[in-house]
């Protein structure tokens, strides 16, 4: 490990607004800046990759500096630049922070500066994520690099404690180290906690728990604080809350900060594409920032810095319509659930009424298209007394859209694969807005795996968002070429999938209120190069009013 100091830059000193009350008193407000000004350093750490090459990890480091107005210390001068001196009282607890996919530590500077004002050194590595036209191999490489980057930053700062760069000498306390991150960085934080025992606790903001390899709730062995927004368009609220609920009650203290009127914007600014309904549907960003600052600072002070922070200071007694903080070890409040964002006109028919009923033996109605709009991708039509689709491209799917638009309704069909392989699936979709925005329920007859995904039409995020974890299997699936009766129920904010009468998955989400339905057959990446094309046969289509 080699440390090279690039520059020390000046940061305007923060006005110390810390309460005069000592730690442990309930009315300390951790949403306010702490007792330190904040300095910022930029440095580069290096680590050796398995292939022998060297990877440079550029890192921003926020650190406590003396209060504004104090005389500068001569130790502030280092060989590569001039910056604010380090405050007395070190070594300080360290937080390594991992940014979201394609982002930068600078996009979280408000939170990271706030933590430094409360006495933390905060190190944010630049992960060098793929920017455009990214492949699965790019994502796999990033998943390998990110946790190793975080551990390398810790290695470098610990080595620098006894180095010759004045600003880093005795800067961090090796016994008080925490991990934090947002989105892909939240995933990184959870993986680092699993792998590196030196980290005492983790703060994972809207963690992308669907990324591979998936963090495992059963392996949570350090205190963690998760955040989740009901209006999140990137990481489904249902997935984060399920991860939290699957952490064993016997695990160390674990918390969930659930925010009904927030999306994925747990960083310095709000962007409309990160919030269902846009930023106007979210709480004011200054309010969300204050909430992040308060709860995050209190949690990290308690579990990383070792401060006496009460439950009241943490926010466990402050439940309101704006947020709920849940303690997984001893839950005291109910988890907020999504509510409908759009008014749906009341139907003219009673619940349970069949809106579409077709045995699909022949094209005697206009319920499904009689040909494919994209024959090079898939063919579709009525074959031998059933509706049949054949996929003609590897790792593709074909879908037949049911005529009409539906809000609170269910779709059911009998479906089978002609030549099933482990990569082939059958699928139903509801509330489709366009080709890439809907809820999808699918399963693999060859393996019994099932899932619900929410697709988003933002082309910058081509990957679907899993709303249940990977790898879940159901004994309800009839294997091989057998016919399975599958249903997708989209009623209010509940999206539920059933196979042969058994509900295998149910989630709550309010991204889409109404839209089209479809039935589909497809194949995921990784299927056999010379295997049979996916062929799905469908019969007995029913759409019901809910």
Residue 455: Cβ within 10 Å count? 22
**What span, in angstroms and rounded, lies between the C-alpha atoms of 109 and 36?**
16
Cβ of 139: how many Cβ atoms within 10 Å?
Answer: 17
Q: What pLDDT does residue 22 have?
A: 37
- Contact of 536 with 482, CB cutoff 8 Å: no
Closest CA to 450 of 495, 505, 411, 413: 505
Residue 454 CA to residue 78 CA, distance in Å, equals 51
Strands 172-182 and 92-98: parallel
Residues 6+ apart with CB under 8 A from 195: 147, 151
CA distances 253 to 201, 281, 381, Å, are: 10, 32, 56
Describe the crossing of helices 184-195 and 136-160 by its angle, rounded to 10 degrees: 60
**Which pLDDT value is given to residue 364?**
84
Domains of the chain: 3-327 (3.40.50.1820), 354-545 (2.60.120.560)
pLDDT tens for residues 433-481? 998 899 999 999 999 999 999 998 664 444 678 888 888 999 999 999 9
Report residue 71 CA to chain centroid gap.
44
CA–CA gap between residue 85 and residue 37 (Å, rounded) = 10
Q: Could you list the mean pLDDT of each consecutive 10-residue stretch along the chain, which spans 546 residues?
A: 31 32 57 93 90 91 80 32 78 97 94 96 93 81 92 95 85 97 97 97 96 93 97 94 94 96 96 93 96 97 96 83 90 85 88 96 92 96 96 94 96 97 96 93 96 78 73 95 98 97 96 96 75 94 97
Confidence at residue 240, expressed as pLDDT on a 0 to 100 scale: 95
Q: Are 453 and 464 in contact (CB under 8 A)?
A: yes
**Which of 51, 143, 59, 135 lies closest to 97, judged by CA?**
59
- Give pLDDT, residue 30: 93
Q: Contact 521/426 with Cβ under 8 angstroms?
A: yes
What's the confidence (pLDDT) of residue 426? 98
Give the CB-side neighbour count of residue 465, counting CA atoms within 13 A.
29
- pLDDT tens readout for residues 402-418: 999 999 999 999 999 99
How many angstroms separate the CA atoms of 182 and 260, rounded? 18
Predicted local confidence at residue 70, as pLDDT: 42
- Contact (Cβ atoms closer than 8 angstroms) between residue 171 and residue 157: yes
pLDDT at 84: 87
Q: Is 17 exposed, middle or buried (0-12, 13-18, 19+ CB in 10 A)?
A: exposed
User: What is the pLDDT at residue 526?
Assistant: 64
pTM confidence score = 0.87
How far apart (Å, rounded) are the C-alpha atoms in residues 389 and 397? 9
pLDDT at 244: 96
Of 117, 13, 16, 1, give the one whose Cα is nearest residue 59.
1
State how far the Cα of 427 lies from the Cα of 235, in Å rounded to an integer.
21
| pLDDT in the model for residue 77 | 29
**First and final C-alpha spacing in the chain:** 61
Predicted local confidence at residue 358, as pLDDT: 96
Distance CA 57, CA 154 (A): 12
């Amino acid at each position: 490990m080699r440390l090279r100091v690039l520059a020390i830059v000046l940061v305007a000193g923060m006005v110390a607004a810390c309460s005069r009350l000592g730690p442990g008193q309930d009315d300390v407000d951790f949403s306010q800046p702490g007792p330190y000004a904040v300095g910022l350093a930029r440095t580069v750490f290096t680590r050796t990759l398995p292939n022998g090459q060297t990877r440079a990890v550029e890192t921003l480091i926020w650190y406590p500096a003396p209060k504004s107005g104090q005389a500068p210390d001569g130790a502030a001068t280092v060989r590569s630049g001039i910056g604010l001196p380090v405050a007395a009282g070190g070594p300080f607890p360290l937080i390594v922070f991992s940014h979201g996919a394609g982002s930068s530590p600078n996009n979280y500077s408000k939170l990271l500066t706030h933590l430094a004002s409360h006495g933390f050194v905060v190190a944010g590595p630049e992960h060098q994520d793929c920017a455009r036209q990214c492949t699965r191999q790019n994502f796999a490489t990033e998943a390998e690099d990110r946790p190793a980057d975080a551990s390398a930053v810790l290695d470098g700062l610990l080595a620098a404690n006894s180095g010759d760069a004045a600003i880093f000498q005795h800067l961090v306390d090796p016994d008080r180290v925490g991990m934090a991150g947002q989105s892909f960085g939240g995933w990184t934080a959870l993986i680092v906690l699993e792998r590196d025992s030196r980290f005492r606790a983790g703060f994972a903001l809207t963690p992308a728990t669907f990324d591979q390899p998936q963090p495992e709730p059963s392996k949570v062995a350090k205190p963690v604080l998760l955040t989740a927004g009901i209006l999140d368009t990137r990481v489904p609220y249902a997935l984060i809350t399920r991860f939290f609920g699957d952490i064993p009650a016997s695990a160390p203290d674990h918390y969930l900060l659930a925010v009904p009127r927030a999306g994925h914007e747990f960083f310095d600014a709000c962007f409309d594409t990160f919030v269902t309904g846009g930023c106007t549907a979210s709480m004011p960003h200054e309010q969300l920032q204050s909430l992040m600052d308060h709860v995050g600072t209190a949690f990290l002070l308690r579990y990383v810095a070792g401060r006496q922070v009460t439950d009241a200071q943490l926010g466990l007694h402050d439940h309101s319509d704006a947020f709920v903080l849940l303690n997984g070890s001893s839950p005291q409040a109910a988890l907020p659930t999504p509510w409908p964002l759009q008014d749906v006109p009341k139907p003219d028919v009673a619940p349970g009424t069949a809106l579409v009923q077709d045995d699909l033996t022949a094209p005697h109605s206009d319920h499904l298209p009689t040909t494919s709009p994209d024959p090079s991708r898939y063919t579709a039509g009525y074959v031998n007394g059933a509706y049949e689709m054949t996929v003609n491209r590897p790792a593709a799917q074909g879908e037949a859209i049911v005529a009409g638009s539906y809000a609170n309704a269910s779709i059911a069909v009998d479906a089978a694969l002609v030549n099933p392989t482990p990569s082939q699936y059958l699928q139903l979709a509801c509330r489709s807005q366009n080709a890439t925005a809907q809820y999808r329920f699918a399963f693999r007859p060859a393996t019994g795996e099932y899932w619900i995904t929410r697709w988003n039409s933002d082309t910058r995020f081509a990957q679907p968002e899993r709303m249940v974890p990977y790898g879940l299997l159901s004994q309800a699936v009839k294997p091989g070429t057998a016919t399975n009766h599958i249903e997708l129920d989209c009623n209010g904010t509940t999206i539920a999938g059933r196979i042969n009468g058994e509900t295998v998955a149910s989630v709550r989400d309010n991204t889409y209120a109404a839209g089209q339905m479809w039935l589909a057959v497809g194949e995921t990446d990784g299927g056999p190069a010379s295997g049979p094309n996916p062929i799905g046969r469908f019969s007995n289509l029913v759409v019901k009013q809910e």
